[in-house]
């Protein structure tokens, strides 16, 4: 009797987990596209340190707040290569906008991202079920190989909403 109850509960939990996974967007396939990215500017700060460093979290929320206040901006993070194999991250965290800001806040930098060819992936799912950065990069490398191009070592992520992320891979020149 207890065995039947456990089997029933396991089946019910599996069904509920699948429904949540589906509703959160975990079933969305990754599609890659090759396009020309327009020039844009990122207003923010550079960070180098551990992934779970409170300073990185603070920069993230500050940039998100800045992007929300500026109706024409999105939270944007540039990821630079690190020789520390994920132990240390190097990022520029800020608000991406189409034009250079008129005024610059003290201790804030502005990075210009020139118009360039990119491969990008649009991810429409909740953070809990998003594919890992490694899986997204593997897909971009495969797509680049199919197109006969090579991606550069930096990437940038543009958070257009709570459930939409664009990961961009600039091409080597």
Confidence (pLDDT) at 52? 85
What is the reported pLDDT for 127?
Answer: 61
Q: Domains plus CATH for the chain?
A: 32-170 (3.20.80.10)
CB 123 within 8 A of CB 26: no
Q: What are the per-10-residue average pLDDT scores of the chain (173 residues)?
A: 79 72 63 93 93 90 89 91 80 92 81 94 70 85 94 92 87 87
Which 3-state string (H, E, C) describes the chain? Answer: CHHHHHHHHHHHHHHHHHHHHHHCCCCCCCCEEEEEECCEEEEEEEEEECCCCHHHHHHHHHHHHHHHHCCCCEEEEEEECCCCCCCCEEEEEEEEECCCCCCCCCCCEEEEECCEEEEEEEEECCHHHCCCHHHHHHHHHHHHHHHCCCECCCEEEEEEECCEEEEEEEECC
Closest residue by Cα to residue 110 from 124, 89, 92: 92
């Amino acid at each position: 009797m207890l065995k039947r109850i456990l089997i029933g509960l396991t089946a019910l939990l599996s069904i509920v987990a699948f429904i949540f996974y589906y509703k959160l967007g975990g079933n969305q396939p990754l599609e890659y596209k090759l396009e020309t990215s327009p020039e844009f500017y990122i207003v923010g700060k550079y960070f180098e340190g551990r992934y779970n460093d409170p300073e990185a979290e603070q920069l993230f929320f500050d940039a998100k707040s800045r992007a929300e206040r500026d109706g024409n901006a999105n939270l944007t993070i540039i990821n630079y290569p690190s020789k520390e194999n994920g132990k240390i991250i190097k990022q520029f965290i800020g608000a991406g906008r189409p034009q250079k800001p008129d005024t610059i806040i003290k201790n804030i930098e502005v990075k210009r991202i020139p118009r360039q060819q990119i491969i990008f992936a649009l991810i429409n799912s909740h953070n809990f079920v998003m594919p890992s950065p490694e899986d997204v990069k593997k897909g971009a490398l495969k797509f680049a190989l199919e197109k006969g191009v090579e991606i550069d070592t930096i990437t940038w992520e543009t958070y257009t909403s709570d459930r939409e992320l664009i990961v961009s891979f600039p091409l080597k020149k």
